[in-house]
Amino acid sequence: MKKETIIKLLPYQAPFLFVEELTYISENGVKGYHTFKNDEYFYKGHFKDNPITPGVILTEVMAQIGLVCLGIYLLKDEFYEIKKPQIALTSFNIDFFLPVKPKERVEVVSEKIYFRFNKLKCNVQLFNEKNELVCKGTISGMLKLMDE
């Protein structure tokens, strides 16, 4: 499946779509990136007069690229036109090391730990443009395809 097709199948849209482009995908992992705009809605409140990307948003970026995009790739069969992915985040454990400011581009690198009985668990890392580690951890979710 093409990387562009995967992004089209994502069940998200602005302002909560955090997958700009996928650069690599296989049965074992995925790489992709996202660039934060200067005027993302969450910068107004996090923090007052000091915009920093919230950890929950970085976690969401890691989950959308590292878990959901990979999951769609792993689930896909030839009938994908009529089916939509159904997704539930079930757990994550992330350590954070560096802040991410507006307009920064971040890269997500995810490796599959296992995908069994519809549960996908991955080791996920997020890097900034200087290739410094921003955060890393494990994320799990349940994924299946639904008939529309």
Active-site residues: which are they?
A: 46
* Residue 142 interacting with another protein (CB under 8 A): yes
Q: Given the structure tokens 């896909």, which residue do they identify?
A: 76
Total interface residues for another protein by CB under 8 A: 11
* Residue 140 interacting with another protein (CB under 8 A): yes
In 3D space, the residue among 107, 88, 84 whose CA is nearest the CA of residue 29 turns out to be: 107
> Residue 130 Cβ, how far from another protein at the closest point, in Å?
35
Question: What spatial distance separates the first Cα and last Cα of the chain, rounded to whole Å?
Answer: 20
**Cα–Cα distance measured from residue 61 to residue 69, given in angstroms and rounded to the nearest whole number:** 11
> Residue 44 Cβ, how far from another protein at the closest point, in Å?
34
∠112-116-120 over CA atoms, to 5°?
40
Cα-flanking dihedrals φ and ψ of residue 54, to 5°?
Answer: -60, 145
User: Which amino acid makes up residue 7?
Assistant: I
Of 10-18, 20-28, 83-91, 92-100, the window that binds another protein (rule: CB under 8 A) is 83-91
* Residue 116 interacting with another protein (CB under 8 A): yes
* Residue 47 interacting with another protein (CB under 8 A): no
* Residue 79 interacting with another protein (CB under 8 A): no
63 by Cβ neighbours in 10 Å (0-12 / 13-18 / 19+) ranks as buried
* Residue 24 interacting with another protein (CB under 8 A): no
| Residue among 11, 47, 90, 101 that touches another protein (CB under 8 A) | 90
Contact set with another protein (CB under 8 A): 88, 90-91, 114, 116-119, 140-142
